[in-house]
Structure 1
């Protein structure tokens, strides 16, 4: 059952029933009061006339008796006055209502000796008649006085009151019901429907819906509470989504760590197995190159053999370094010193290719707790990658400190990184360079060093038109665990 109908049945109906009973009782009391007043007035008039008539009858003066009866009509609504003998025969009378009582009724009044009254109807009229024994001063009963008062308005009056009260009650009840219906619809049902509509939309999946805070205070509080609940749910959903993404990122990191560990074990085995043969090959090539009997062409070929052997040895060393778990020894370092060290290592390559390096570092430079050799290697590897890319003429290194973290951006104006390759640039052995020009381990090493420092690294499209790398590092070890548990780059890409 709807709330509106429940209120009507449990509140209004009992209230209306109480009002009906109260009105009926009030009308009945009014009617009884009017009747009682009428009876009292008639009895008083009858008693006053009867006393005079008793003296008139004792003096046997018909004129006095007639004059007394005539005086009864001076009272309001007295329509008849009659004198009867003790046996019930009419002696004299005036007005209406002569035949209201039978002779035996008159004789009964004589025998009772007391004033009585009753309602009687005659010719469609209702009378209230009072009967009083007429006695002489000596106490002898000479007759009975009948005074009739026409009940010209008592029933009509009370009936009109009843009809009027009923009409007022019906109109008032209808007005009350309509007012409650309209007020309920406007101030209760509509706000509730708006709240229910918001809840239905939220249930349908639209968690951005919010209730309008307005109307009575109770609904404003209810809407505010609903909005607060939805905001809390949104925060929980965001927290759950963040945790889910963090779990995915952690799972990727674990897979990558396992992969690197397996790669390190493999590299150690490979280094152990091919280390000695490579040393022999390198030594023999060196001995052959020293002989004077060989020509320049053979000596050049032997030099190439030695270089390729050294390249294999370097790749194996990098693999072992990549798969090994490091305990990073840190110290407080200035960012500008690290950048200067890295630039010094690639300065010759920059000048040879005519590239312009732009440094945009904070002043004063921030200090961070890190391993200087490893971070220098990170900066150097990224700069070398940029110098080896085709059509690169401009390289930019920017840094900003945001609260307790350091943000670094490496950008160039080269061809950039294809969208399909961005997710793989940090994988071991992945490279876009021609065969023999890159091992694909440089960026993997960069990723491993950044992770060891509790930071993140990601790829983006540079505003210069080429590739961009963004690094976020904690300035202090206290932030490293927190950063490791949120291993995503600032642009939302897992690293």
Structure 2
């Protein structure tokens, strides 16, 4: 059941019923009091002139009888006074209402010696009339006195007034109920429905919807409190989402670290097994190349054999570095020095390729706790990859500081990295370069160094049109991240 209906049924209806009962009782009491007053006045007047009339009848003095009857009309609203004998015959009378009682009624009053009063209607007039016996001093009945009085306006319309009062009360109660219903609907039900609408939309997933703070003070405060609760929930959801993302990232880093560790164990075993054969192959190729009996073509082939052997040795060494647990020796170093060193290492290649390098460092003199040599290697590798992806184009290196962390991005305007390859770029041996031009270990080394420093690295689509790498490192040494 609706709240307004409950209020009407449990509060207003009983209240109106009580008021109606009290009103009817009050009207009835007023009517009874008026009738009682009318009756008492008529009986007092009748008894007041009855004594003198009894004496006049006993002395048989018509003048005294007439004078006493005339005296009755000095009272308010006395419209008739008559004297009858014991047989019901009129002796003398004045005014209206002579025929209100039958002769039999008059004879019974004279015989019993008891008065008789009644409301009577005659010729469209309403009267209250009383009959009292007239006796001698010895108690012998000599006649009957009849006194008539017209009802007053309120006496005639007491019933009508009651009906009108009930109708007025009914219409007034209806108006009050409608007014209360309208006020309840406008100032209570509508604000509640608005709040319910907000809760339903939030329940369906629209967490950004908020209540409008208008209406009575209580509902404004309730709307503000609801909005505050929703804002707090949104903040908690955002915090939970950020933590989940961080946990997912940590889990990815853990899996990759575990993979690299397993690969390092495998590489260490492989290095021990193929180290000696590689040394023999390299030594024999070097001895053959020193002989004067071979031509230049054979000597060039032997040099290529030695170069490939060196390449295999470097790959095995990188694999061992990937899987090895490193204790990074950190020191305070300037970001500007690291970037400048990496730029100098690639300066000749940038000039040859005619590639423009854009540096955007918000605080070049900012310091961080890190291994400067390893971070220089990271920046150099990222810039070198961008240079190979965008020869003759643009490379942008940007650094920002936020919440105690360094955010470093390297972007290019090259062809970019397909979405299918973004999740594999940090895997060992994954490369899109032709065979012999890359081992696929450069970004794996970058990932390992960043992890050793307690940071993270990711790949994204650059606004320049190519690929971008986002590097995050703590500015201060953190044992927890270590």
Same fold (TM over 0.5): yes
Say if 1:356 and 1:166 are closer, same or farther in 2 by CA, change over 3 A: closer
SS at match of 1:320: helix
Alignment partners' CA distance in 2, 1:131 and 1:479: 121
Distance apart, 1:154 and its partner CA: 5.7
Alignment partners' CA distance in 2, 1:387 and 1:270: 33
- Corresponding residue number in structure 2 for 1:17: 17
Conservation of the 8 A alpha-carbon contact between 1:82 and 1:98: no
- Corresponding residue number in structure 2 for 1:121: 120
Alignment partners' CA distance in 1, 2:390 and 2:119: 130
Alignment partners' CA distance in 1, 2:232 and 2:197: 19
Of the candidates 105, 108, 130, which is equivalent to residue 104 of structure 1?
Answer: 108
Does 1:313 find its partner at 2:313?
Answer: yes
Q: Deviations over 1:103-150 (max 9, x none)?
A: 1222322xx6xxx45214365765433344546689876544221223
Distance apart, 1:429 and its partner CA: 1.0
SS at match of 2:157: helix
Does 1:6 find its partner at 2:6?
Answer: yes
Distance apart, 1:463 and its partner CA: 4.1
Say if 1:77 and 1:368 are closer, same or farther in 2 by CA, change over 3 A: same
Conservation of the 8 A alpha-carbon contact between 1:119 and 1:126: no
SS at match of 1:316: helix
Q: Deviations over 1:207-255 (max 9, x none)?
A: 3322222112222233233333333333333333333333332332222
Alignment partners' CA distance in 2, 1:69 and 1:163: 39
Alignment partners' CA distance in 1, 2:415 and 2:436: 21
- Corresponding residue number in structure 2 for 1:169: 169
Does 1:475 find its partner at 2:479?
Answer: no
Alignment partners' CA distance in 2, 1:117 and 1:328: 128
Distance apart, 1:271 and its partner CA: 0.5
Conservation of the 8 A alpha-carbon contact between 2:109 and 2:133: no
Alignment partners' CA distance in 1, 2:375 and 2:456: 13
Alignment partners' CA distance in 1, 2:393 and 2:209: 51
Distance apart, 1:442 and its partner CA: 0.5
Conservation of the 8 A alpha-carbon contact between 1:35 and 1:154: no
Conservation of the 8 A alpha-carbon contact between 1:264 and 1:323: yes
Say if 1:275 and 1:424 are closer, same or farther in 2 by CA, change over 3 A: same
Q: Deviations over 1:142-170 (max 9, x none)?
A: 54422122336565321121012111111
**Cα RMSD, aligned residues only:** 2.7
Alignment partners' CA distance in 2, 1:316 and 1:275: 9
Conservation of the 8 A alpha-carbon contact between 2:109 and 2:131: no
Say if 1:360 and 1:353 are closer, same or farther in 2 by CA, change over 3 A: same
In structure 2, stretches of 5+ residues that fail to align are none
Say if 1:87 and 1:386 are closer, same or farther in 2 by CA, change over 3 A: closer
Counterparts of 1:184-333 in structure 2 under 5 Å? 184-333=184-333
Say if 1:363 and 1:13 are closer, same or farther in 2 by CA, change over 3 A: closer
Say if 1:472 and 1:66 are closer, same or farther in 2 by CA, change over 3 A: same
Counterparts of 1:361-400 in structure 2 under 5 Å? 361-363=361-363, 365-389=365-389, 391-400=391-400
Alignment partners' CA distance in 2, 1:254 and 1:98: 122
Once the two structures are overlaid, the 10-residue window that deviates more, 222-231 or 30-39, is 222-231
SS at match of 1:22: helix
Alignment partners' CA distance in 1, 2:210 and 2:478: 39
Distance apart, 1:435 and its partner CA: 0.7
Distance apart, 1:82 and its partner CA: 1.9
In structure 1, stretches of 5+ residues that fail to align are 485-495
- Corresponding residue number in structure 2 for 1:489: none
- Corresponding residue number in structure 2 for 1:454: 454
Say if 1:240 and 1:53 are closer, same or farther in 2 by CA, change over 3 A: same
Alignment partners' CA distance in 2, 1:280 and 1:58: 176
Q: Deviations over 1:65-119 (max 9, x none)?
A: 123223423433323212234576543233314452331222322xx6xxx4521
Say if 1:336 and 1:204 are closer, same or farther in 2 by CA, change over 3 A: closer
